[in-house]
Amino acid sequence: MVIPLCIGYECVMKALCMYYVMSSSPVSLFPVGAFLVPYLFFMVIAGMPLFYMELALGQYNREGAAGVWKICPIFKGVGFTVILISLYVGFYYNVIIAWALFYLFSSFTGELPWVHCNNTWNSPNCSDLWAFNNSLNDTHKSTPAAEYFERGVLHLQDSEGIADLGLPRWQLTSCLAVVIVVLYFSLWKGVKTSGKVVWITATMPYVVLTVLLLRGVTLPGAMDGIKAYLSVDFLRLCEPQVWIDAATQICFSLGVGFGVLIAFSSYNKFSNNCYRDAIITSSINSLTSFFSGFVIFSFLGYMSHKHSVPLDKVATDGPGLVFIIYPEAIATLPGSSVWAVIFFIMLLTLGIDSAMGGMESVITGLMDEFKFLHKHRELFTLFIVVSTFLISLFCVTNGGIYVFTLLDHFAAGTSILFGVLIEAIGIAWFYGVDRFSDDIEEMIGQRPGLYWRLCWKFVSPCFLLFMVVVSFATFNPPNYGTYTFPIWANMIGWCLAISSMTMVPLYAIYKMCTLPGKFCDRLAYAITPEHEHHLVDNGEVRRFTLQHWMVI
């Protein structure tokens, strides 16, 4: 299934930009300078090494997230774990794109609908965007942008909670259907179409963000926001959630643990320089994240100054950054309607491409595992996108934001850290970091240095294990604003998270039960690459020797 297509640096860079810009909870991931320290720390010790590892893994083995585990069959369950995570994320990620499409349609007007309080959906608590007063010191007040998102788009006022969802709203359902149709025809054509517009989709965010930054720094209070962004609150570094958020954001921004990198790199030329790709793209991603922080906090500082409230009271988490803060920022620009159209077109292109990456991970991973699906790619793709559409309908009801928040909290939090941890252990310890290094040298003619090998075998797994334990020990239930989810909703969320993680032990048990011979023979076959099973038949089991576990 090798396609002669340049999909290395260009397509991966595109995927990284998409994952960052359309992240579902970016403000909570940038609690000023307190976040930058663990973010950069994890980027160096885990993000870049794991990114490099997944690119090399997919490129060498030419398979999807499950098929690559022919190198250590007992760990194939982690492939299904990351496939499930990508599928779960698709359930709510497509809704973000539908919101962006709704905003795009709403932007084709002389006056943006979120700049004043004279609309039918506004409540008496709405405080006009251009009214410079202290009304927002009253916690019951809200901005037109916030009310447009929650009342005009979501109709949250018509729901009392997750137990009162209501029917899907036809406006958002229509937008979601358009997104699904575009996804289907993009995926149906395969990965050949994804690299043709890469330079537009990769560079457009920088143009728009630069314009917003140039505007933002001219506003009163912007410098205060930027100073807050660059300041480091060392007390916040003692909070486990800051470190968990940093580790999770690394996975989201780089695409590690979703199977996307493995799926895309499986189409690379065998000799493609995946080491170069890993360094360049992860560096660009970090710089993009850092640059975007200046844009965000310049406008947060302006809003804090404008409404005379502390900066932390202005910042919003969840999808509020993209659909409340950014629209309010765009409203300050001359010709705001034009910039709104450009901004939401940008979100649409990046969001659809990112969703394509997640869906391609699912499709490629399952097709490589179940070969009969290759003959029916069109039908299988249709089945996947229709399934995600039907589940996503829960997120476009009046109370859909509660379902969205629940999925966002549980689908790819602890579970993705767990998946990446098992992936690192399987490759560096069971397959062997020396064997993996040999594979990379065979591809690019250069053996990974000691830094990479130490990170793969010791540093990254240790910190991932620590973060998984801490995330379980310090679990905080999700909430949306002042709304607290009932116990049964949290139980459903945990079932969702555990369902993906249990793929690892379930498949390991299945593999051990289906292999022939005594327990030791089964274990030997299960932890030995499939192409070396003839050595096991001769009693040569490298993984049963101390040298295998000690070598770096």
**Which residues are part of a known binding site for Na(+)?**
253, 285, 350, 353-354
- Residue in this structure with the two tokens 């490129």, named with its chain if needed: 59
Q: How many CB atoms lie within 10 A of CB 384?
A: 19
Distance CA 72, CA 529 (A): 5
Around 531, how many Cα atoms within 13 Å sit in the side-chain half-sphere? 6
- Residue in this structure with the two tokens 């004279």, named with its chain if needed: 118
- Residue in this structure with the two tokens 């010790």, named with its chain if needed: 45
Nearest to 84 by CA among 343, 326, 369, 334: 369
Q: How many CB atoms lie within 10 A of CB 518?
A: 8
Nearest to 37 by CA among 282, 284, 231: 231
Around 457, how many Cα atoms within 13 Å sit in the side-chain half-sphere? 21
Binding site, by residue number, is: 253, 285, 350, 353-354
Residue 484: strand pairing partners: 479
Residue at 329: amino acid letter = A
Tell me which DSSP letter residue 8 carries.
S
Intra-chain end-to-end CA distance of the chain, in Å: 32
Distance CA 312, CA 450 (A): 42
Nearest to 344 by CA among 15, 103, 95: 103
Q: Helix, strand, coil: what percent of the chain each, to 5? A: 75, 0, 25
SS3 annotation, 163-212: CCCCCECHHHHHHHHHHHHHHHHHHHCCHHHHHCCHHHHHHHHHHHHHHH
